[in-house]
Structures are given as C-alpha cells and as structure tokens.
Chain A
Amino acid sequence: MSLSSKSAVIGRRLVQAVPVLVLSTFIVFALLKLVPGDVAVTLAGDNASDARIAEIRHLYGLDQPFLVQYGAWLWKALHGDLSHSLLSSEAVVASIARCLPHTLLVVVLAMALALLIGIPLGIAAASRQDSWLDGLVMTIASLGVAVPNFWLGMLLVALFALDLNWLPATGAVSLSQSVGGALSHAILPACALAAGGIAEVARQLRSSLVEILHSQQVRTLHAKGLSPSAILWRHGLKNVSVNLLTVISLLFNRLLAATVVVEAVFAIPGMGGLIVNAAIHRDFPVVQGVVFVMVLIVVAINLVTDILYNLLDPRIA
C-alpha cells in the first residue's frame, strides 16, 4: 500500500469523526435538558426567591434558547475550554485532567491483562481443537463472560486486600506520585475489569483461528509441506489479526465504559465517579465535558484501528 493512500485513509476517517463528535455531544446535551430538575434551583439553595433563581439562570446562560446554549458550549469546547463546573466552579478540563489518568491506568492495565492471558489461551485452544485443554479454556472463558465485574471486584478485595493484606482495597495513587503505589492500587480493579476481556479475546481468537485452520488456503499450505507450527504462527495469526484488532478496539471502548462500576467498587476517583456525581447533581458542563473526552478517545481508538487494518490486510484500502 502506498503512503498517499494511507494518509488519504487517515484524512477520510478524521473527516468522518467530526459529525460523530458533534452528534454525540448534541445528544448528551439534549438528554441533559430533558432530565427533570433545575440546576439553578439547586445552586440557589433553600428558600431562594424566584428572582434569585432567575438571576442565576441568567448568570449561567441557562435562560437562552437550547441551540444557542449548545452552540456556545461547542464553540468554547473547540477552543479547548470545556467551561466550569456549576457546583465547584473548578475548570472541567482540570477535573478531567485529574480523573482521566486513574481511569486510563486501570483500563490500560486491564487491556494488557486481557491480551497477555487471552491471546495465549485462544491460540492454545485453537491449535488443540476439541482436546481437554480446549474444553478447559472455553469453560474458563464462559465463566469470565458470565461473572459480573463488580462482584469479582468485591471477591478480589475480600481475598487479596482484606484477608491476605497484599494490596490496598480502595483508592488510587497517581503515577506521578509513585509508580509502585499507582500500580498496586490499580491491579485489583484491572483484574476485575479484565476477566470479561480475557474471556472475549480467548473465545474470539479461538473461533477465528479454528475457521482459518480449516480453510482451503490452509489446506494449500499443508499440501506445500509446511509444518503445522509454521502454518499456525505465520499464516494463521496474520490471517486472524484483523479480527483480533476488531475485538481489541471494541473491548477497549467497552472497558472504558465498564470502569464506571468498577471505580465505584474500588472508590477510584476516576472518570466514572466524576460523571456519575455530576449527573446526579445536574452539573451539565462536567457531564458534557466527560462525554466529549470519552468520545474523543473512542474516535481516536477507531482511527488507529482503521489505520492498522490497512497495514494488516492488503484487501482493505
């Protein structure tokens, strides 16, 4: 594939990302307006007069038409300003900068675990199809999918934090403070989060590898006199890499969403806690800002995935 077609692909995906960003933030903005309750009433405090509430509405621009409010938010967002929290008046960008690293650390760690464990399991199961090992791996994988991550999280805390006292039960330390501390806080939530990911990676990899290993193209490789290991490692894995990449990118996006619950279990001050708290208190700018950043991350991941597709499969252009 030529370099120009690669940059054309990147350009096309970037252009496609713009409507996704606008549409998703617009939908969230609209949903927040539909939520019952009025942040101005909350902000005004108990026994506030109607005049005071109206004044607050005006102060925050809440009395303006919906589209004007959205337009103003979008314009500022495009300039890197996600405005301020209505409650704490902290800049939303600052809140996110504080919370995002905790979330990303857990998600990236969970992703690494899912790949480091899931890929070997999937390969082992596929290369010994229908053996006891295959059965065992698939049983473990079914369990991994079935077990809810918050429950697994609680079990892990009970065992490794409370009983054995090996790891801290709750909280988080940022990487800049102490790498060891950050990792020791992140490892249990990452394990809880990774269980489903391990299962999914193993199952998907196994099924696509099995399909390839029974294909006509692999029969040709056998007819050429190639060894089973050359067929598996050279041809099998390259052929399933596109499928695997799809699984990985979808999984990353899902883990990003799933951290909300796991963060609550482990009391991690991450993006999940931030958005849940903001939504409960109708702190629109924070909710809006968190969604915006999450969408940005997802769009970026999809973009990288698309570029990698092009590198891995010559048929995709």
Chain B
Amino acid sequence: MAGPADMPAATLTPPRDRPAASAGARALLEVRALSLSFATSDGDLNVIRDVSFSVAPGERVGIVGESGCGKTVTGLALLRLLPARSARLSGEIRFEGQDLATLPERQMRAVRGRDIAMIFQEPMSALDPVFTVGDQIGEAYRAHFPADRREARARAIAALAEVGIPAPERRCDDYPHQLSGGMRQRVMIAMALICRPKLLIADEPTTALDVTVQSQITDLLQRLSEATGTALLFITHDLGVVAETCTRMITMYAGEVVEDAPVDAALTRPGHPYTSGLLRSLPGLSARRGALPSIPGRVPSLLAMPPGCRFQPRCGHAAVNCASAQPLVERAPSHRVRCCRARELTLPGAVR
C-alpha cells in the first residue's frame, strides 16, 4: 500500500488510501449504541448510554456538553484508552468497516496513532518530560512505519514546521519543559498528525491554554484538517469554537447524545431544549439584554438518573410523554434530536 513513506515529508498530504472526501460517501466512523460503564465497588456505574453518531471522511464534528456529560470518556472509548479492567464497553465502533469495540488489542494498537490519533487537554502533562519533543514525534512515526532515526528526525522536523513552530531544527531537540503551553499543544498536534491519520480526536485541546493561544490552536487544527483531509472530532465545551471550526455539532447531556445536527441548524434552530439552554447561556452568542439566561437545576447524578428523558427535571417544556424513554428522532434531514417534542417546539438559538 502507499504509505507516507512515499510522500515528501515537508508538504501537506492527504491521508493514505483515500480519494478526496465526497458528500454522501460511506461514513469513516460509525458509532452505534455505544454504552460504557465502570465497575466500581458500588456496582456498575453507567457513564454513557446508547451513543450513536457518525463522522464522514474529512468532516469536522464538535461534541459539546458540560463537564461530566461523558464527552471525554466517549473520545477515550473510541480508541479504547480506558482502563481495561474496570471499563465495560458495549455497542459498535465501526471504523472503515472493522468494529473497534471488539478488535483484538494488538490490531487496536495498529489503529491508534496511525488511523485515529488523539490529542489531550493538558499539553503540560501529556508529553513525556524526559524525552525530546523530536524524539517523541519520531517515535509516533516509527511505531507504525519502518524508518531509521534519521528519517524519523527529518519527519519530526517537518511536522514541527507544519504546525507553525519556528526554528524546528532547534526546537526538535528541546524538552517539553522548555516550551510554552501553546507550543506543547502544537507538538502534540504534530505528533498526532505525523502518520496522517484519517481521524483526529481532539479532547478539549485549548482548555488549558490562554485565550490568545486558544484561537491559534483552533485555527491550526482547522487548517490542517482542511489541508490533509483528516476528519476532526472536536470535544469541547466551547460552543464558539464549534461554531467556527466544525460542520456538525453533537450535544451530549448526562451520558447521552441529545442532539446531532449541522452546526448552522444546531446554533440557530436547536431542536433540544438543552441545546437551546446552552446556547442562550453564552454571553457571546446570546442577545445583549437583561440577565444572562441559565438552565435551572443541575446534572443528575450517575447513580440517580431519572427514567425517561434525562433532561426532563430541568426542562421548561416537559410534558407527559417525557417520562418514557426517549429515542433519537429525525427532526429534519441529518438533524436528530432526543426529544419527543422536537417537531412541535420552536426553541431560541444563538442570535448571530
């Protein structure tokens, strides 16, 4: 097969084995009824339930939700990076036809970093402090492709240049502690993209960075995703970032997907009262009048999930039917909502 070894290291190249992304093409990633629970001393603790969504090649999808809604755990579950002894996974993670949920560990290892890469929230603690960044980037390449140290180093330097690090030949020999937070996140991105993965999972990649650096990193991710055709699964609680970079937005609440819609539709015509509440509570996106609206109440505890709609106790639109289990319903083409009133309600979105 044609690997990155055949391609010049310094230029942006599309992922392996793939013609240009086309609309309506088979999904790259298709998650079906994914549930996850952790075995604890108090019994199994269900953290995500019936999560289904798909990502097309080259697509940029945002997963939003407040802390504890299961979005980070979903990202880790896709790569099976959760502790094997306590995490119980069910459902399917179809990636290019194979089910990652049941793939043997050895084959799963070949997928990690090569087909699906991941970057994390804390670039400070996500890098190994006792190896140079060049070494760590080259290692990601050498884990999947035969290359000697010299070639790995050359590729690492090219990757550093690609993510906008000045003087990459010198920076290559720096240790993580010698770099700023933004630079470290760039290193993480360079490391994640060096094998030209088809999907990059970015778990709150800008949360730990200061505001000016945040937008640089977001722009970089969008630019690289566009240039290389790498699909992006952007896990964040920053709706502004999703609005800017993503084409689709998945809203999670209390371990469930409550809405899955194209970004424009999600932002202007949200179908789920929770999405609407999130949007209206944003100072930047809501109308400038009066007090900032907020969602009353708090997220239910994992141990005491309400039956039926999990948002019902906090929802201003709750009706009799909300007490029964809520499936994801099609509200409009490619706009699915986990709410029985989705078709009748017209909810306020963000004023743009």
User: Nearest CB to that of B109 among chain A residues?
Assistant: A225
A230 to B136, CA, bound (A): 13
Evaluate contact between A223 and B127: CB separation under 8 angstroms: no
User: Nearest CB to that of B76 among chain A residues?
Assistant: A219
Q: Is B20 an interface residue (CB 8 A)?
A: no
| A-chain residues with CB within 8 Å of residue B111 when the two chains form the complex | 225
Query: Quick one: which of A221-235 are within 8 Å of B by CB?
Result: 221-227, 230, 235
Q: Among the listed B125, B130, B191, which residue makes an inter-chain contact with A239, where contact means beta carbons less than 8 Å apart?
A: B130
User: Nearest CB to that of A235 among chain B residues?
Assistant: B128
Evaluate contact between A222 and B129: CB separation under 8 angstroms: no
Evaluate contact between B128 and A224: CB separation under 8 angstroms: no
Evaluate contact between B143 and A226: CB separation under 8 angstroms: yes
User: Nearest CB to that of B117 among chain A residues?
Assistant: A223
- Of A26-34, A279-287, A309-317, the one contacting chain B is A309-317
Q: Among the listed A221, A223, A225, which residue makes an inter-chain contact with B128, where contact means beta carbons less than 8 Å apart?
A: A221
| A-chain residues with CB within 8 Å of residue B223 when the two chains form the complex | none
Q: Among the listed A225, A235, A315, which residue makes an inter-chain contact with B113, where contact means beta carbons less than 8 Å apart?
A: A225
Contact A223-B175, Cβ < 8 Å, known A217-B125, A239-B130, A314-B129: no
A313 to B130, CA, bound (A): 6
Contact A315-B129, Cβ < 8 Å, known A225-B109, A225-B144, A226-B143: yes
Q: Is A216 an interface residue (CB 8 A)?
A: yes
Q: Is B81 an interface residue (CB 8 A)?
A: yes
Chain B's nearest CB lies how many Å from the CB of A13? 22
| B-chain residues with CB within 8 Å of residue A219 when the two chains form the complex | 81, 120, 126
Q: Is B71 an interface residue (CB 8 A)?
A: no
| B-chain residues with CB within 8 Å of residue A314 when the two chains form the complex | 129-130, 132, 175, 177
Evaluate contact between B126 and A222: CB separation under 8 angstroms: no
| A-chain residues with CB within 8 Å of residue B79 when the two chains form the complex | 223
Q: Is A238 an interface residue (CB 8 A)?
A: yes
User: Nearest CB to that of B121 among chain A residues?
Assistant: A216
Chain B's nearest CB lies how many Å from the CB of A132? 15
Contact with A along B15-59 (1 / 0, CB 8 A): 000000000000000000000000000000000000000000000
A230 to B117, CA, bound (A): 18
Evaluate contact between A315 and B175: CB separation under 8 angstroms: yes
Q: Is A47 an interface residue (CB 8 A)?
A: no
| B-chain residues with CB within 8 Å of residue A217 when the two chains form the complex | 125-129
Evaluate contact between A220 and B143: CB separation under 8 angstroms: no
Chain B: how many interface residues by the 8 Å CB criterion?
28
Contact A223-B177, Cβ < 8 Å, known A235-B128, A238-B131: no
Evaluate contact between A220 and B129: CB separation under 8 angstroms: no
A108 to B188, CA, bound (A): 44
Q: Is B118 an interface residue (CB 8 A)?
A: yes
Chain A's nearest CB lies how many Å from the CB of B258? 27
Q: Is A215 an interface residue (CB 8 A)?
A: yes
A314 to B176, CA, bound (A): 10
Q: Is B186 an interface residue (CB 8 A)?
A: no
A78 to B346, CA, bound (A): 91
A238 to B175, CA, bound (A): 14
Evaluate contact between A224 and B129: CB separation under 8 angstroms: no
A315 to B111, CA, bound (A): 33
Q: Is B139 an interface residue (CB 8 A)?
A: yes
Q: Among the listed B109, B127, B132, B144, which residue makes an inter-chain contact with A220, where contact means beta carbons less than 8 Å apart?
A: B127
Query: Quick one: which of B89-126 are within 8 Å of A by CB?
Result: 109-114, 117-118, 120, 122, 125-126
| A-chain residues with CB within 8 Å of residue B118 when the two chains form the complex | 223
A226 to B144, CA, bound (A): 9
Contact A223-B112, Cβ < 8 Å, known A217-B125, A315-B175, A315-B177: yes
User: Which 9 pairs show the lowest CB-CB distances between chains A and B?
Assistant: A225-B113, A225-B112, A224-B113, A314-B175, A216-B125, A224-B140, A223-B118, A220-B126, A217-B128
Binding site for A on B (CB under 8 A): 79, 81, 109-114, 117-118, 120, 122, 125-132, 139-140, 143-144, 175, 177, 188, 191
| Inter-chain pairs besides A221-B128, A227-B109, A238-B131, 12 sampled, C-beta below 8 Å | A217-B126, A217-B127, A220-B188, A223-B81, A224-B139, A224-B191, A225-B140, A226-B139, A226-B143, A314-B129, A314-B132, A315-B177
